Structure 1
Amino acid sequence: MLDPPPGLTTFRRLLADRIREERTRRDLSQEQLAHAAGLAPRTIGAIESGRASTSTDSLYAIAHALQVSVARLVQDAAEPRPG
């Protein structure tokens, strides 16, 4: 099996943080986001905790439910915020 590309774990963690930030900014619970995205609450929990990666379909559904673009979530995750 191939080793994951450098930075993949960091990217996954930052993406998880961005999803959580957007969710909490909108005062949504994990359950509410899961319902809006058509996903199981445990899936949102696993993604936000960094225990699971997300498929492109799930990422799109999450972004749509949060009313942000996938690009915003991914770009933010690729470019860590200072501080």
Structure 2
Amino acid sequence: MSTSQHIGTRIRTQRRERGLTQDDLAHHVGVSRSAVAQWETGRTGQITGNLSRIAAALDVGVEYLVHGDDKRAAAEARQGDELALLRLYRDCDPEDRQMLLRTARRLARR
């Protein structure tokens, strides 16, 4: 399998995981549906000039699309608990936020 086919497979997989059609991805990137179909089948066309927009539309790193490895994903996994806490904090009422802060401060002193 060529590099462009690997990239195309990753684009297709990520697009499908996000429930996007080829038309949806094309709209987000600013290209035709035909261009997306070509990328996904390994006939790259103008993929290199669009990689950053494709990655942004799919919420992955360019590195992932090109190499199958996304250092961002590893960093996010390490920060997963922090991000989960932040999301929960944001969903709380203001008085509950204060209680969470007091609890976090008390736990941090241990």
**Secondary structure in 2 matching 1:23:** helix
Extract structure 1 runs of 4+ deviating beyond 3 A: none
41, 52, 56: which one pairs with 1:60?
A: 52
* Rg (Cα) greater in structure: 2
More helix by share: 2
Structure-1 residue corresponding to 2:10: 18
- TM-score normalised per structure 1: 0.74
Give me the whole-angstrom Cα distance separating, in 1, the residues matched to 2:53 and 2:37: 15
**Unmatched tracts of structure 2, length 5 or more:** 70-110
**Secondary structure in 2 matching 1:15:** helix
User: Percent identity over the alignment?
Assistant: 35
Alignment of 1:42 with 2:34, yes or no, is: yes
**Unmatched tracts of structure 1, length 5 or more:** 1-8, 78-83
Give me the whole-angstrom Cα distance separating, in 2, the residues matched to 1:42 and 1:20: 13
Give me the whole-angstrom Cα distance separating, in 1, the residues matched to 2:30 and 2:24: 10
Cα shift readout 1:29-62 (whole Å, capped 9, x = no counterpart): 0000000111111100111111234443211111
With a CA cutoff of 8 Å and minimum separation of 6, indicate the structure with the bigger relative contact order: 1
* Residue type of the alignment partner of 2:6: L
- TM-score normalised per structure 2: 0.57
